[in-house]
Amino acid sequence: MNVKPHILLIYTGGTIGSFRDSETGSLKPLPFSNIRKLLPEIEQLDIDLDHLSLQNPVDSSDMNPEVWVELVELIEKNEEKYQGFVILHGTDTMAYTASAVSFMLGGLKKPVIFTGSQLPINIIRTDGRENLVTALEIAALQENGEAIVKEVCIYFEYKLYRGNRAVKVSAEHFNAFDSPNFPALAEAGVHIDLKKEYLHEGSNEKFTVYKNICCDIAVLKLFPGMSTNVLKSVLETKGLKGLVLETFGTGNASAKPEFLDTLSKAIERGVVIVNVTQCMSGKVEQSLYETGRGMEEAGAIGAADMTTEAAVTKLMYLLGRYEGNNETVKKLFSTNLRGELSN
The full length of the chain comes to: 343
One-letter amino acid at 10 equals I
User: Which DSSP letter does residue 164 get?
Assistant: G
C-alpha span between 194 and 17 (Å, rounded):
28
Residues with catalytic function? 15
C-alpha span between 139 and 207 (Å, rounded):
18
How far the first Cα of the chain sits from its last, in Å, is: 43
User: Which DSSP letter does residue 199 get?
Assistant: S
- What are the two backbone dihedrals, phi and then psi, of residue 102, each rounded to the nearest 5 degrees? -60, -35
In sequence order, what are the residues at sequence separation of 6 or more whose Cβ sits closer than 8 angstroms to the Cβ of residue 293? 286, 287
User: Other CB atoms closer than 10 Å to residue 119's CB: what's the count?
Assistant: 17
Which residue blocks in 105-219 are alpha helix, DSSP H?
A: 128-139
Q: 51, 143 in Cβ contact below 8 A?
A: no
C-alpha span between 227 and 219 (Å, rounded):
16
281 three-state secondary structure: coil
> What element of type H or E holds 315?
helix 308-321
Q: 170, 178 in Cβ contact below 8 A?
A: no
